[in-house]
Structure 1
Amino acid sequence: MPLHLSLRPGERVIINGCVLKNGPRRQTLEIENRADVLRGDEMLEEATARTPVRRVAYQIQIALVSQAHRAELLPVITAGLEDLARALPRFSAPIGEAETCLQSQNFYGAFRALAPVIRHEDTLFARFSPEQSL
């Protein structure tokens, strides 16, 4: 079953490590075989990967889009997930899902599994940010 991607004007997408940017019109791509795909609105920027969960998710994203870096990143990602599991036992299910996905080389699945953990982390940092206490 093919994957249909509808891209907004100027939207970026990464397919098997290749960064593509849509032109001025809405386009639809049909991907007919298995590919590593990451849409622009899902991408994390290195500058924003400064929190523990975002840092691990960013490393997974790099492994997703760059096969050349996977071997060196896997032990780092695995250690990061183990640290997160100890620090956030409430989120053991999505963190465990990310670990399972990594074992089967499903980097997109691992990346997406961390979404609820990232939302929780964002909520915590927003609640305790210095601007909130002023």
Structure 2
Amino acid sequence: MALKLTLKPQERIVVNGCVMRNSSRRHVMVVETHGDIIRGHDLLEEHDAATPVAQVYFLIQTALTNAEIRDKLIPVCQSKLAELCTVFGAERRALVFEAANFVSTRDYYKALRALRPLMKREKEIFAAMPPAGAMLEAAE
């Protein structure tokens, strides 16, 4: 099955580890064979991987974009996903299992897609927490 991508002007895309940028016009691209593909807006920068779910997302993203170290990363990803299973309730835990299954079948993009709702929830939780300094002040 072909993958049809509509690229916005100047949008980045990574195909089999090669970073490409679209020109100044919108283009449609059809990928007819399997490839490791991720759009620029789905990429997480390493410095943004500061939370547990984001760290796992970044590891899986690295496995997707860097085939040379993929075999070393997969056990680490699976271990981190197992740790996440203890954090979330049943509904969200299913997304962790889904991501782990996709990693096992080497479908890294779908694993990332399964983690996106968890990253959103994690961001909401951390946003609701008071700053660390405020907790220390309240304790005094």
TM-score scaled to structure 2, two decimals? Answer: 0.89
User: Amino acid of the residue matched to residue 79 of structure 1?
Assistant: S
Instruction: Give the alignment of 1:35-114 within 5 angstroms.
Output: 35-90=35-90, 91-114=92-115
Residue by residue over 1:114-133, the C-alpha shift from the partner in whole angstroms, topping out at 9 and shown as x without a partner, is 111111101011111529x7
| Equivalent position SS for 2:4 | strand
The one-letter code matched in structure 1 to 2:55 is: R
5+ unaligned residues in a row in structure 1: which ranges? none
Offset at 1:33?
A: 0.9
Structure 1 residues 5-48: Cα deviation after superposition (integer angstroms, max 9, x where no partner): 11111110011111111111111111011111111111101110
Q: Show the 5 A alignment for 1:8-19.
A: 8-19=8-19
Larger Rg: 2
Does residue 127 of structure 1 match 2:116?
no
Evaluate the alpha carbon distance shift between residue 52 and residue 2 of structure 1 in structure 2; reply closer, same or farther with a 3 A threshold. same
* Alpha-carbon shift at residue 109 of structure 1 (Å): 1.1
What TM-score, normalized to structure 1?
0.93
Distance 1:16 1:129, change over 3 A: farther
Q: How far apart in 2 are the matches of 1:47 and 1:25?
A: 30
**2:85 is paired with a residue of what secondary structure?**
helix
Aligned residues: 132
Task: Give every structure 1 segment of 4 or more consecutive aligned residues whose post-TM-superposition deviation is greater than 2 Å.
Answer: none
